[in-house]
Each structure stands twice: as C-alpha cells, then as structure tokens.
Amino acid sequence: MRFRALATDYDGTIARDGIVDDATIVALERLRDSGRKLIMVTGRELDDLIRVCPRLDLFALVVAENGAVLYDPSDRLEAVLSGRPSLELVNRLKAAGVPDISVGRSIIALWKPNEVEALAAIRDLGLELHIVFNKEAVMILPSAVNKATGLAEALKRLDLDVAHVVGVGDAENDHSFIGACGYRVAVANAIPSLMGTVDLVTEGARGEGVQQLIALMIEAEEQLVSALQRRKSFRSA
C-alpha cells in the first residue's frame, strides 16, 4: 500500500452546502475499512463542523480553523496549535461596521469584500497576521498557520509520512496542504489555479469526485503511482 491516508477538505470537496451525501459517506467508510486513514483539513470552526458533520467518527484526526486546531473525534480532545484571536482586531472590525464576524479558537472569519478593512486594521494595529481566502470566505490567522502546518502536526501524531498521503480540495486555502502531499488532487469544481498544480483533477465534482478518487486508491493505486512517476520523470527531464 503506497498511499496510506487521504487528507480531504470539507466544504466544496466532500460536502455540498455543508452536507456530505450518503454515497460519499459510504465511500469514506470503504476507504477507512481498507486500512487507510482519513484526515479532514478544513477552514471551518470546530463547533460549527461538529454541528454540520455527524460522521466525524470516520476521521482519525480533524484539522480545523485552517490549521489552527487539531481535534480527535475518538476522544473529543482538541488542541489549539496557534495563538488566540486578537480581540483588539475583532473590536476594531466591529467598530468599522464589518458584518458577520465569526471568532474561533484562533481564527477570525468574515466575508468578501471586507478583507480590505481587515488588512487595514491588521496594518494599523501592527499585528503579525495573514489573510487566507476560501472562495467568498476571508480567514485571518497567525502568519505561520495554514492547512499544511495543521496537517503536518496531524501526520506527526499518526506517525505517517506526507509522501504516503493523498490530498484533495477545491479552493485557495487548499494549495498549502495539497502541495505538501505525496499525491495531489482537485475535484472538478475546484478553482482553476488549484487545478493547474495537481496530479489529478477528478471527473466528478465535490463528493462524486472524492468517490472516484477513493475507488482509484483502493482498486487502482498502482495506476496513480505509475502516473505520478511518469510526471516526475517528465518534470525532471
């Protein structure tokens, strides 16, 4: 078995409008039962994720808040991997009239086009934070935190090498963790810039694409390995 784990984004990847359909759940169960690990890597806040996804038990670990929080569904223990959100920044954004601000363990989330106001506030307050986009969502995090750093911590705890992990996603904030994986995949509804950097774009969108990927991992893993080796040879030529 070359690829021992699947690291997957949530919204727009396994979920449509926040819901994972039955066929995708069956596929995830099948992958887990094959002896491989499932790792979720999402920008969602943990409490919100627990509310919308009743099958977190399928995942060995969950990386939430775009890399800032690690959660173990088996014992419901969580670890915050970065600094707490800046209440000074939150208050500044609220005073500026920015709507729909959500504050997690570490993340501050809002919506486009309020990134302009957020960037100005970060600059004026002299904070070491960065902005990450997830389509229409705007996420503010400590500068060294992203999905790749969260996945690295998850793999350390699971004793897995990133070379043995398949990563799949759909949006801007998925670049970091997918780029770190041994095999990189975008679902058919992914943004063009992500599609241009991966080893495979699925024929199906969202959950259907992940179902197709899981079938390849279980039934035709050698095809994935051979195709990856050919691409590596071509790039080095």
Chain segment 61-113, per-residue pLDDT in tens:
999 999 999 999 999 999 999 999 999 999 999 999 999 999 999 999 999 99
* Topology (CATH level 3) of domain 87-142: Hypothetical Protein Ta0175; Chain: A, domain 2 (3.90.1070)
Strand extents, DSSP E, the chain: 5-8, 37-41, 61-64, 69-72, 77-80, 102-103, 108-111, 129-134, 137-142, 165-169, 183-186, 200-201
Tokens 């500044």 belong to residue: 92
The per-residue pLDDT for 232 is: 63
The per-residue pLDDT for 220 is: 83
Q: What is the model's pTM?
A: 0.93
The per-residue pLDDT for 204 is: 97
Domain boundaries 5-81+145-236, CATH class: alpha beta
- What are the boundaries of each domain within the chain? 5-81+145-236, 87-142
The per-residue pLDDT for 230 is: 66
Q: What is the tens place of the pLDDT at every residue in 110-159?
A: 999 999 999 999 999 999 999 999 999 999 999 999 999 999 999 999 99
Q: What is the tens place of the pLDDT at every residue in 170-216?
A: 999 999 999 999 999 999 999 999 999 999 999 999 999 999 999 99
What are the structure tokens assigned to 173, written together?
A: 């904030």
- Secondary structure (3-state) at 174: helix
Tell me 85's DSSP state.
Answer: P
Sheet holding 165-169, edge to edge: 77-80, 69-72, 61-64, 37-41, 5-8, 165-169, 183-186, 200-201
